[in-house]
Amino acid sequence: MSLTRLPGMIDAHTHLRDPGATQKEDFYTGTCAALAGGVTMILDMPNNPIPTISFRALKNKQKIASEKAVCDYGLIFGASQEDNTEEFKKIIPKVAALKVYMDQTTGTLLVEKLGLLEKIFRMWRSEKPIMVHAEDATLAKAISLSAFYKKHVHFCHVSLADEVELIKRAKEQKIKISAEATPHHLFLTENDRKRLGPFGIMKPPLRSVSDVQALWHGLIDGTIDMVATDHAPHTMSEKKSNKPPFGVTGLETALPLLLTVYKQKKLTLDQVIKLYHHNPRKIFNLPTQKNTYIMVDLDNKYELKNKDLKTKCGWSPFAGWQLYGKVHEVVLRGKTVYKNGKILAKKGYGKNIIS
């Protein structure tokens, strides 16, 4: 078997659920899933039960991550409806980005009032991106805020053809924005919803075939800059309840899905690396990881099975898929941290790449 060497992937949108919802995932299991998927650096979202919206909560998460992570990581601070802009000055040097939830999703973070949104944009005195969850018409609001306040806005999980169009127009106007697409919005459509049941429920939801086509178009013409998973684990029993929470896992499937598309000759290897390594690094101004690479098998297919997953919740919407690009080895900062299904790094080997 011949293996191909690639750089470690960078996933700029993950929810590792630690602290507060560690029945779903924690900093160890989440970063193990990252390594198994060829990801050597993740950025972690702030919508925990006690959200990362204060200096204190950030410190607490830094400590937890430093004790448990096996891949490198950066933390993302959350904007709060209770106006936490006072905290910005102190936390800016310690985080990778700010996240603003402009639409309702998992957790309690939601900022809708225009006055507060303006204040957030004004007070974010940093080149670091403001990541937004902004669906459909809300996306237009975020583009205006970016233009007026001259702040870099990064659009999470773009999913609609109309959103791709608006982003394209805004980029033509030289507004400082970037955008990501998730594997679930690229590889699944609303037609998969019935088959997947609650395991196909997420925010934004799965979209129509023509939306998915537009998203691929945007990815190939550069309107969409990068891929990020929005890895959002929930336990099987939570998902099977009568009120299933939003979200699917993604860390262990994103790269194999992209490499399967490469095998189908719809993306080049350079494009895959650009979407899931170079562009996230550029957009978030992340450091290079020295002596870091992964070895993947581009020759043989394998079946993705829930039982092989490292994520604590133990399921993927892509279970049963035949994929190329299985990750055989991960070397992080000179040390083999993952090999043939086994995690070899000690808890705490992962480093905070910001501070």
Q: Does 178 bind ligand DOR (CB under 6 A)?
A: no
- In this structure, the number of other CB atoms found within 10 A of the CB of residue 342 comes to 11
- Quick one: which of 55, 88, 149, 246 contacts ligand DOR (CB under 6 A)? 246
Among candidate residues 344, 325, 333, the one with its CA nearest the CA of residue 293:
333
Which does residue 202 bind out of Zn ion, ligand DOR, none, counting CB within 5 to 8 angstroms by kind?
ligand DOR
Which does residue 106 bind out of Zn ion, ligand DOR, none, counting CB within 5 to 8 angstroms by kind?
ligand DOR
**The one segment of 161-169, 243-251, 288-296, 309-317 that binds ligand DOR by CB under 6 A:** 243-251
Q: Does 247 bind ligand DOR (CB under 6 A)?
A: yes
Q: Which amino acid appears at position 205 of this protein?
A: P
Which does residue 247 bind out of ligand DOR, Zn ion, none, counting CB within 5 to 8 angstroms by kind?
ligand DOR
β pairing state of 130-133 and 153-155: parallel
The nearer residue to ligand DOR, 218 or 233, going by C-beta atoms, is: 233
**The one segment of 30-38, 75-83, 245-253, 307-315 that binds ligand DOR by CB under 6 A:** 245-253
Among candidate residues 123, 47, 112, 46, the one with its CA nearest the CA of residue 82:
112
- Residue keyed to tokens 């039982």: 307
Among candidate residues 63, 89, 29, 1, the one with its CA nearest the CA of residue 251:
29
Q: Does 321 bind ligand DOR (CB under 6 A)?
A: no
Q: Does 239 bind ligand DOR (CB under 6 A)?
A: no
From the number of C-beta atoms within 10 Å of its C-beta (0-12, 13-18, 19+), residue 202 rates as: buried
The nearer residue to ligand DOR, 109 or 275, going by C-beta atoms, is: 109
The nearer residue to ligand DOR, 8 or 107, going by C-beta atoms, is: 107
Residue 279, both tokens:
């562009």
Q: Does 202 bind ligand DOR (CB under 6 A)?
A: yes
Separation CA 190–CA 208 (nearest Å): 6
**The one segment of 119-127, 143-151, 242-250, 288-296 that binds ligand DOR by CB under 6 A:** 242-250
Q: Does 14 bind ligand DOR (CB under 6 A)?
A: no
Four-residue CA torsion sign, 189, 191, 196, 202: positive
Residues 107-136 that bind ligand DOR (CB under 6 A): 133
Which does residue 99 bind out of Zn ion, ligand DOR, none, counting CB within 5 to 8 angstroms by kind?
none
What number of chain residues touch ligand DOR (CB under 6 A)?
A: 12
The nearer residue to Zn ion, 4 or 138, going by C-beta atoms, is: 138
H/E segment holding residue 329: strand 326-332
Measured from the CB of residue 248, what is the shortest distance to ligand DOR in angstroms?
7
H/E segment holding residue 151: none
The residues facing 297 across adjacent strands are 326
The span from the first CA to the last CA of the chain, in angstroms, equals 40
Longest dimension (CA), the chain: 59
Give the list of residues 6+ apart from residue 218 with CB closer than 8 angstroms, or none. Answer: 158, 164, 167, 168, 179, 181, 224
**The one segment of 168-176, 239-247, 285-293, 315-323 that binds ligand DOR by CB under 6 A:** 239-247
- Quick one: which of 29, 47, 52, 292 contacts ligand DOR (CB under 6 A)? 47
Q: Does 205 bind ligand DOR (CB under 6 A)?
A: no
DSSP state letter for 191:
G
Question: Which residues in 22-79 belong to E strands, given as ranges?
Answer: 39-44, 72-78
**The one segment of 56-64, 241-249, 257-265, 303-311 that binds ligand DOR by CB under 6 A:** 241-249
Contact residues toward Zn ion (CB under 5 A) are 133, 156, 230
Separation CA 345–CA 27 (nearest Å): 13
Q: Does 51 bind ligand DOR (CB under 6 A)?
A: no
H/E segment holding residue 298: none
Q: Does 313 bind ligand DOR (CB under 6 A)?
A: no
Q: Residues in the site for ligand DOR, rule: CB under 6 A?
A: 15, 47, 105-106, 133, 202-203, 230, 232, 245-247
